[in-house]
A and B are shown apart, each in its own frame.
Chain A
Amino acid sequence: NAGVTQTPKFQVLKTGQSMTLQCAQDMNHNSMYWYRQDPGMGLRLIYYSASEGTTDKGEVPNGYNVSRLNKREFSLRLESAAPSQTSVYFCASHLAGVYNEQFFGPGTRLTVL
């Protein structure tokens, strides 16, 4: 099993450009998440999808959109990138269970100039 995979690993954008971050999991998990990680701020939830066909806003959704394409894939789109969106983005998934472990992808390092 590959676990949670993310593409690309690195990306540099100019202000105003758009892009989509891809995430896929092969663990048959129901729920998937997008976080951003900024120094001194921990991980903040952008959007999540509790199950296929549903998405909900997290703590910092402004400037982002998501698509839960199927059970495996959950993408994050920046329609018009801003320097404030420079961050490391992590996708995670979990199967609802007893202790609720979330499995994380390796991250996408995004710089917006």
Chain B
Amino acid sequence: ETGVTQSPTHLIKTRGQQVTLRCSSQSGHNTVSWYQQALGQGPQFIFQYYREEENGRGNFPPRFSGLQFPNYSSELNVNALELDDSALYLCASSLEGGGARGYTFGSGTRLTVV
């Protein structure tokens, strides 16, 4: 069984640009969540997708958006990048909304905004 894979592993962007991060869920998982982990901090919940619909969002502005595809892979898009968006972005997948089942995390995409 394959785990969660994210691409790219590292990325450098300029302030004001747009970025797309990608995630392939673990086989059979229909729920994907995205987290932002700033340096030295715990991950913060961005949003979650369940069967291609966003069904929960954390305290992030609308310039953070996402998609989930029929094969349950997912994208995180960030527009108008700011320096504070520099972080490790983690994708996590689960069955049926997560909860007590727990999530499987990918290794993350390290985004640096200059």
Query: Is chain B a partner of chain A in the same complex?
Result: no
Chain B residues engaging chain A, CB cutoff 8 angstroms: none
Chain A residues engaging chain B, CB cutoff 8 angstroms: none
